[in-house]
Amino acid sequence: MGICHTGSVDWALTRDGEGVHIIEVSGLVKRYKNVTALAGLDLAVPKGTILGLLGPNGAGKTTAVSILTTLIEADEGSAFVDGIDVAAEPGRVRERIGLSGQYAAVDQDLTGFENLDMIGRLYRLGKRRARERARELLSVFDLTEAADRSVKTYSGGMRRRLDLAGALVARPPILFLDEPTTGLDPRSRIDLWGVIRELVAEGATLLLTTQYLEEADRLADDIVVIDHGRGIAHGTADELKEMIGGERIEVTTPDHSQIDDARSVLAEFAVGDMRMDPKHGTLVVPITGGAPVLTRALRALDSAGIEISDVGLRRPTLDDVFLSLTGHAAEESEVSA
């Protein structure tokens, strides 16, 4: 599948024939007084997959999630969740979704258990089932010890986890997680990734927003990069990386005069134009084949008697993708909002 890099693309069309779309959004527009939060967003998420919505601060991620979860209404465009029009039948949408918003939506005065128990009751699980489910989730999210303390005493990460547990109470088939791992420590983050993967393995469909490129890379089957309220790129992590170039070997020689020799030695490994960075004495050689090719290249350099001071196999990260697409890095883009 190709990668789209235009202002507005009909994802629904490009995705046709890949099965049912559990989430389908087209031309979504949301305006606030001075800002256009969404400027014609299109999304399509096939059943049982994870879509990563990747974008800098103010890109419109939360706005999109809020519309899809019936919290706010769009000004233009359409959104369907499980085939149900979000604007026309929000009540039926709510029966199918779980939401964990960007800011933990938990009651500070209640205990963790009471929070989940209440949510279970509101999903009409019944008294017994609600309690069991609350205990179950508290243990999944490693909160059993804090279960009967008021949430006021929780750390930020604990609140975050409790909020995520809240989204899962009714085992909804469709999940919306708005920056689910923001504020979690690395271990909790990895644990959560595990939980998310399990959910999807059980058949859930998930829309996840994130500013962490690594997270989208690890979790998402499909990534839509948004900026200023519209999708600016779409594809798998690999496809997006491909877009700005594949793997490459970067070689630095201590003696700059040797860089030309290195160039002729490595020519046989190159799959595209080699680039020279004379300032640092670095040669960039596009390759395919990864580490084994790197090993062979090093041997070749060695037998040619070329000394090297630094060498690396570099794969483009989503950070690179992001930078090249939006012209700014994910983390430092508040100004553009």
Binding site for ligand ATP (CB under 6 A): 32, 35, 37, 55, 57-63, 102, 211, 337
Look at residue 55 and give the partner it binds from Mg ion, other proteins, ligand ATP, none, a contact being a CB closer than 5 to 8 Å depending on partner kind.
ligand ATP
- Tell me the CA end-to-end span of the chain in Å, nearest whole number: 31
Look at residue 119 and give the partner it binds from other proteins, ligand ATP, Mg ion, none, a contact being a CB closer than 5 to 8 Å depending on partner kind.
other proteins
In 3D, which of 104, 87, 106, 83 has the Cα closest to residue 173?
83
The 8-class DSSP code of residue 7 comes to S
Beta carbon of residue 272, minimum distance to ligand ATP (angstroms, whole number): 35
Residue 284's beta-bridge partner residues?
250, 275
Size of the site for other proteins (CB under 8 A): 31
Q: Does 314 bind other proteins (CB under 8 A)?
A: no
Beta carbon of residue 64, minimum distance to ligand ATP (angstroms, whole number): 7
Under 8 Å between Cβ of 23 and 81: yes
In 3D, which of 52, 58, 88, 55 has the Cα closest to residue 73?
88
Beta carbon of residue 122, minimum distance to other proteins (angstroms, whole number): 4
Q: Which residues have C-beta within 8 Å of that of residue 158, sequence separation ≥ 6? A: 112, 143, 146
Tokens of 165: 């547990």
Look at residue 221 and give the partner it binds from ligand ATP, Mg ion, other proteins, none, a contact being a CB closer than 5 to 8 Å depending on partner kind.
none
Under 8 Å between Cβ of 41 and 77: yes
**Of the candidate residues 30, 49, 52, 62, the single one contacting Mg ion (CB under 5 A):** 62
Q: Does 97 bind other proteins (CB under 8 A)?
A: yes
Q: What burial class does residue 153 get, using C-beta atoms within 10 Å of its C-beta: 0-12 exposed, 13-18 middle, 19+ buried? A: exposed
Q: Does 211 bind Mg ion (CB under 5 A)?
A: no
Binding mask 21-60 for Mg ion (x = CB under 5 A): ----------------------------------------
Beta carbon of residue 105, minimum distance to other proteins (angstroms, whole number): 4
Q: What dihedral do alpha carbons 303, 307, 309, 314 form, nearest 10°?
A: -40
| Comparison of 102 and 336: residue with beta carbon closer to Mg ion | 102
Buried b (16+ CB within 10 A) or exposed e, 161-188: bbbbbbbbbbebbbbbbbbbbbebeeeb
Beta carbon of residue 157, minimum distance to ligand ATP (angstroms, whole number): 18
Q: Does 300 bind other proteins (CB under 8 A)?
A: no
| Comparison of 73 and 185: residue with beta carbon closer to other proteins | 73
| Contact residues: other proteins, CB under 8 A | 62, 66, 69-73, 91, 94-95, 97, 99, 101-110, 114, 118-119, 121-124, 150, 166
